[in-house]
């Protein structure tokens, strides 16, 4: 385990962030309602730089939260079947702002185009439904973790800034009872 720990403590390079995002088709969302009640959910996404487009039904709880509260934590996480250590899955957690994109605007067309490229013809059906709206998620800041003691600040451009903590995980000292 010591060798695994040391290997995980090396600083990741920016392409690992992009590779993780590129390997996922959906984004995990943590939202809250006006009373602060949490909701966890997910949505298929398409990326444009540091922004992510999602097409969601206004009938879903998370959509109301996205529109009304706008406090969102978004996460991309390594698949359980791909990880070597379940406690050390690679993950990117982002604080994002939200903006509803109006239909029949250049932003709407860009988002639909990117979502169609990522997810196919299902978008032809979904964009034709009145209850589906587009939300743009814009990165504010985040954290990238790629192993034990290997966590890094991420800026609004999804670039690694610095290690989050110079002190790696420390073992609990055993009592001499």
H or E element in which residue 67 lies: helix 61-68
Across the range 72-79, mean pLDDT stands at 96
pLDDT band at 150 (very low <50, low <70, confident <90, very high): confident
Average pLDDT, the chain: 87
pTM of the model: 0.84
The DSSP 8-state label assigned to residue 81 in this structure reads: G
Domain ranges of the chain: 2-163
DSSP codes joined into one string, 103-161 = TTSHHHHHHHHHHHHHHTTHHHHHTTSTTEEEEEEEEEEEEEE-STT-EEEE-TTS-EE
The fold adopted by the segment(s) 2-163 is: Pnp Oxidase; Chain A (2.30.110)
């Amino acid at each position: 385990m010591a060798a695994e720990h040391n290997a995980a403590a090396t600083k990741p390079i920016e392409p690992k962030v992009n590779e993780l995002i590129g390997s996922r088709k959906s984004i995990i969302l943590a939202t809250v309602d006006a009373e602060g009640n949490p909701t966890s959910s997910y949505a298929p996404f398409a990326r444009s730089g540091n922004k992510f487009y999602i097409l969601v039904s206004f009938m879903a709880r998370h959509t109301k939260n996205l529109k009304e509260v706008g406090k969102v934590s978004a996460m991309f996480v390594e698949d359980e079947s791909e990880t070597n250590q379940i406690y050390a899955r690679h993950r990117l957690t982002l604080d994002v702002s939200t903006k509803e994109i109006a239909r029949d605007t250049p932003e709407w067309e860009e988002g639909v185009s990117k979502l169609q490229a990522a997810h196919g013809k299902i978008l032809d059906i979904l964009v034709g439904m009145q209850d589906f709206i587009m939300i743009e998620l814009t990165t504010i800041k985040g954290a990238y973790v790629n192993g034990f003691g290997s966590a890094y600040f991420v800026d609004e451009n999804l670039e690694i800034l610095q290690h989050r903590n110079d002190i790696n995980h420390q073992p609990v000292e055993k009592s001499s009872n």
